[in-house]
Structure 1
Amino acid sequence: MSLSKTTLGNFELYTIETGDFKLDGGAMFGVVPKTLWSRGIPADENNRIQMTMRCLLIKSNTTGRVYLIDNGVGTKFNEKLQAIYEIDFSTHSLAASFKEHGFSFDDVTDVIFTHLHFDHCGATTYYNEQGEAEYTFPNATYHVHKEQWETATNPNAREKASFLKENIDPLKETKHLNLVDDDVVYEEGLSTIVVNGHTLGQQLPLIEADGKKLCFVADLLATHVHVPLPWVMGYDMYPATTLKEKEAFLHRAVEESIYLYLEHDYYKEIITLQQDGKKVKVADSLTLNEL
Structure 2
Amino acid sequence: MADQATSIRPVNIGNLELYSVETGRFMLDGGAMFGVVPKTLWSKKITPDDKNRIPMAARCLLIRSKSTDRLYLVDNGCGDKFNEKMSSIYSLDFEHSDLERSLDQIGVQPEDVTDLVFTHLHFDHCGGTTTYNAKGDLEHRFSNAIYHVNKRHWETATHPNAREKASFLKENIQPISEYDKLNLVDDRHVFEDGFSMLPFDGHTIGQQLPFIYDDERSLVYAADLIPTYAHVPLPWVMGYDMHPLQTLTEKEPFLNEAAENGWYLYLEHDANHEIITIQKENGKFSVDKTLRIRDLV
Fold match (TM-score > 0.5):
yes
Residue 60 of structure 2: which of 51, 55, 75 is its match? 55
**Aligned-residue offset at 1:209:** 2.0
Structure 2, unaligned runs of 5 or more: 1-6
Taking the aligned partners of 2:8 and 2:38, their CA distance within structure 1 comes to 34
Residue matched to 2:197: 192
Residue matched to 1:132: 137
Amino acid at match of 2:246: T
Aligned length: 290
Amino acid at match of 1:170: P
Amino acid at match of 2:280: Q
Residue 221 of structure 1: which of 206, 226, 231 is its match? 226
Taking the aligned partners of 1:3 and 1:93, their CA distance within structure 2 comes to 16
Task: Please tell me whether the aligned partners of residues 3 and 16 of structure 1 are also in contact (alpha carbons under 8 angstroms).
Answer: no
Residue matched to 2:258: 253
Please report the TM-score for the alignment, with normalisation by the length of structure 1: 0.98
Aligned-pair identity in percent equals 58
Residue 36 of structure 1: which of 32, 37, 41 is its match? 41
Distance 1:20 1:185, change over 3 A: same
Distance 1:132 1:203, change over 3 A: same
Residue 232 of structure 1: which of 225, 237, 241 is its match? 237
Residue matched to 1:159: 164
Residue matched to 2:19: 14
Taking the aligned partners of 2:221 and 2:32, their CA distance within structure 1 comes to 22
Considering only aligned residues, what root-mean-square deviation do their CA atoms show, in Å? 1.0
1:272 aligns with 2:269: no
What's the secondary structure of 2:77's corresponding residue?
A: coil
What's the secondary structure of 1:273's corresponding residue?
A: strand
Q: Which runs of 4+ in 1 moved over 6 A?
A: none
Residue matched to 2:106: 101
1:92 aligns with 2:94: no
Residue matched to 1:121: 126
Q: Deviations over 1:60-105 (max 9, x none)?
A: 0000000000000101001110000000000111011011111111
Taking the aligned partners of 1:275 and 1:211, their CA distance within structure 2 comes to 21
Distance 1:209 1:176, change over 3 A: same
Amino acid at match of 1:242: T
What's the secondary structure of 1:17's corresponding residue?
A: strand
Taking the aligned partners of 1:259 and 1:145, their CA distance within structure 2 comes to 23
Task: Please tell me whether the aligned partners of residues 3 and 15 of structure 1 are also in contact (alpha carbons under 8 angstroms).
Answer: no
**Aligned-residue offset at 1:210:** 4.8
Residue matched to 2:152: 147
Return 211-220 or 201-210, whichever deviates more: 201-210
Amino acid at match of 1:101: I
Q: Deviations over 1:181-234 (max 9, x none)?
A: 112100010001100000000000000025100000000011000001000000
Amino acid at match of 1:13: L
What's the secondary structure of 1:95's corresponding residue?
A: helix
